[in-house]
Amino acid sequence: MLHRIFGLETEYGLLIHEDRPDHSPTWFAHKIRDHLFRVQRRGVLDLHHRGHDEPPGNGGFLTNAGRIYLDMGHLEYASPECRSLMDVVASDRAGDRLLQQALEELGFSEQVSLIKNNIDHETDATFGSHENYLVSRRFPFSRRGLAPLVTFLVTRQIFTGSGRVGSAAPQDAWIQTDRLILPPSPLGRHHVSELPFQISQRADYIVNDFFEWVQHNRAIVNTRDEPLADPNQYRRIHLLLGDSNMAEYATALKLGTTGLVLQLIEEGQAPQGLEIDEPVEALQEISQDQERRWLIRLQSQKAMSAVEIQERFLDCAVQHCKGQDEETDWVLAHWAAVLHDLRGDYQKLVGRVDWASKLWLLECFRDAEHVDWTDPTMKSLDLEYHNLNHAKGLYHGLLEEGRVPRVTTDRLIQLAMETAPKNTRAYGRSELVRHLLHERSASAVDQPPTPDGLFPPYVINWSIFQVRGHAPFPMPDPFKTYLDDVRTHLDSVIV
């Protein structure tokens, strides 16, 4: 893609298959993390406090330059910085396999399942799949400038959604209106307690169009300004409204189409006049529409379908972006194909779009077993679609049957488990992690700092690191590998 850095952050659910388990999901999460770092030596644990909720040892960077850590008790994997869709899809799948392999090596795979989804049917909790896109600091980051992005994001769920059985309870959150913080109004919003199926998992939990913080007030566009790069040059668009995707195709299309829409906005070529009247309500109405007509009202009071709106964005992208590189043309071709098929039988999308794949599997089960949507088995099967265990997961069953098109390969995923992309600063960070693993013994690599008040042996962050006894080493440009600079810097360091 044209001058773009992508990244994904995925939180995983842990499903315990025991009525009275001896251990909590968080206990298993700690065991998996410790196995990855202390036994498999996949990376180095942090030896410093990253925040009040991230003490030393909570997580660390891997040899592939990504991170694994615990967030609110959940295992979370952050991919390294990637410049291509194939790299980010492979890196995303690498996180799945790293965690699943650790679970299996620990002998827990019969007791526990790792679930790559976004909801807990029992507690109504949600956990995220966050997308990151690097843009220029000149990006028009204002309500007016972001209006096309909001419209695109509200409607893209028709091919990026992972689908779910039922719906969430009304969200208890506070909404910012100009300078006031107000509770959400119940007027015009109702909870459908027995929705059979909807196309997005996260839509029910989004309560605002723009907001800075992540928890309890999730927004369509997160406004936190944390570029993790030179702030004079770059801004990071951080999105948390999307679903975790099992289908590689859906992951690539989600990131690719969003990257192109950001390019259109940057270049002043985004379609105009498509502002949605009530974006949050439209997001939820599209997800919950059982007839899949997906009609929404614009500020102009005109009604348009989500498919029509997506076609408007596609037309602009074809006109202004076609031919700029091979990945762009792949995205444009498959964006068009998916939108065409969304106008027909949803079963044409099985294997490519997660909600369609899940719906087809659930409908097949209902027909065979003569059960309705309220049967508890339906929610269990919903979760099993996202099971990372290849022998149990319903998505992996479709893959084995040859119903799922691949974007990457098993060989590339294996490489992404161990190595970083070679065209971003992740490559330099990977060299640092390997150096620390080589120089420090297995027993010392994850020991907490000594209580003598000394600086810890190392501190690693996304855009800077420091090894004890040496000056900080900034890496402000995500497009630069820093490989030779890191090697030169480390050659003079005695660890």
pLDDT of residue 188: 38
pLDDT by residue (tens digit) across 447-466? 554 445 578 999 999 999 99
Least confident of 87-101, 191-205, 258-272, 455-469: 191-205
Tokens read off for 345: 């039988």
Q: What is the mean pLDDT of residues 179-201?
A: 61
- Residues labelled as active-site residues: 71
pLDDT by residue (tens digit) across 328-365? 999 999 999 999 999 999 999 999 999 999 999 999 99
Residue 495 has pLDDT above 50, yes or no: no
The domain spans of the chain are 127-348, 424-491
Segment of 163-172, 212-221, 302-311 carrying the highest mean pLDDT: 302-311
Is pLDDT larger for residue 445 or for residue 171? 171
Banded pLDDT at 92 (limits 50, 70, 90):
very high
pLDDT by residue (tens digit) across 210-261? 876 655 678 899 888 999 999 999 999 999 999 999 999 999 999 999 999 9
Q: What is the mean pLDDT of residues 438-450?
A: 59
- pTM score, whole prediction: 0.92
